[in-house]
């Protein structure tokens, strides 16, 4: 595991060096980080459409090339002093849109492609989509309670790499088993990560509540204490943290 972490860290450092000139150019021209986020999301949505059409290798390359937007928006925001609360919220929200399109595109592929139609893989892909959203929500909900739940075996950068690099090089190799293996791996790791975050929040919150450092939160955000009269605010959805 330590070796994998070291390899991944070296890969990220090398990637940042490669895209540094692009970041310098965007900083020099004062390009809006939110614009970079928007363009990147539109490109990733395009990759999802390509996945749905069955051109897996093309989608992998396209998604890999557009993944740099995920890094550039934050880099440009920090270097130009334009980091904002809304920017973080906007970036996090559009990440969910991008994830939905990519995994949704793969679900369409497994649902309608004549050569690779598979109810099993369609179900696994949908489960992966739910798991991916759940990993994001568990962290966001934990942060809204004042807890940092950045734990788990797969974060979004790793997920993007797994959805792009293997597909770019292997496409539908071995009659699509490479793609099926990646999708299954992402689904399993997404659910494992979600469970890890729930267990983390359970452990940390129980310890904090026992020591008096954390006040138990209402089960539904916006709910009134038991002694208060109920109101429509009981149905307010949970805030989604960046």
148 has catalytic annotation: no
- Angle, alpha carbons 108-152-46 (nearest 5°): 30
Q: What is the model's pLDDT at position 129? A: 95
Q: What is the model's pLDDT at position 227? A: 40
Longest CA–CA span in the chain (Å) reads 63
pTM as predicted: 0.79
> Which residues, 6 or more positions from 215, have their beta carbon under 8 angstroms from its beta carbon?
209
Q: Exposed e or buried b for every residue in 143-171, given b needs 16+ CB within 10 A?
A: bebebebeebebeeeebbbbbbbbbbebb
- Among 94, 101, 93, residue whose Cα is nearest residue 45: 101
Active-site residue, from 73, 91, 95, 99: 95
Q: Which fold has domain 22-212?
A: 1.20.120
Q: Where are the domains of the chain?
A: 22-212
Q: List, for residues 25-53, the tens digit of each pLDDT value.
A: 777 878 888 898 999 999 999 999 999 99
Q: List, for residues 42-99, the tens digit of each pLDDT value.
A: 999 999 999 999 999 999 999 988 888 877 887 888 887 778 888 888 988 999 999 9
Q: What is the model's pLDDT at position 236? A: 34
């Amino acid at each position: 595991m330590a070796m994998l972490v070291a390899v991944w860290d070296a890969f990220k450092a090398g990637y940042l060096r490669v895209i540094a000139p692009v970041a310098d150019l965007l900083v020099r021209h004062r390009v809006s980080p939110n614009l970079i986020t928007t363009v990147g999301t539109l490109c990733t949505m395009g990759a999802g459409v390509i996945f749905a059409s069955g051109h897996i290798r093309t989608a992998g390359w396209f998604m890999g090339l557009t993944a740099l937007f995920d890094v550039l928006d934050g880099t440009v925001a920090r270097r130009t002093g334009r980091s904002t609360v809304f920017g973080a919220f906007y970036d996090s929200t559009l990440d969910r849109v991008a994830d939905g399109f990519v995994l949704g595109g793969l679900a369409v592929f497994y649902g309608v492609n004549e050569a690779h139609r598979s109810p099993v893989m369609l179900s696994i892909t949908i489960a992966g989509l739910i798991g991916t959203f759940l990993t994001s929500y568990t962290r966001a909900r934990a942060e809204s309670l004042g807890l940092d739940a950045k734990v788990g075996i797969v974060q979004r950068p790793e997920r993007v790499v797994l959805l792009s690099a293997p597909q770019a090089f292997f496409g539908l190799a071995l009659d699509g088993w490479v793609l099926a293996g990646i999708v299954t791996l992402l689904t399993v790791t997404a659910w494992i990560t979600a469970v890890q975050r729930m267990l983390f929040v359970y452990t940390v919150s129980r310890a904090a509540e026992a020591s008096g450092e954390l006040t138990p939160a209402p089960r539904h955000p916006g709910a009134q204490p038991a002694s208060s009269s109920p109101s429509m605010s009981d149905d307010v959805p949970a805030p989604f943290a960046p």
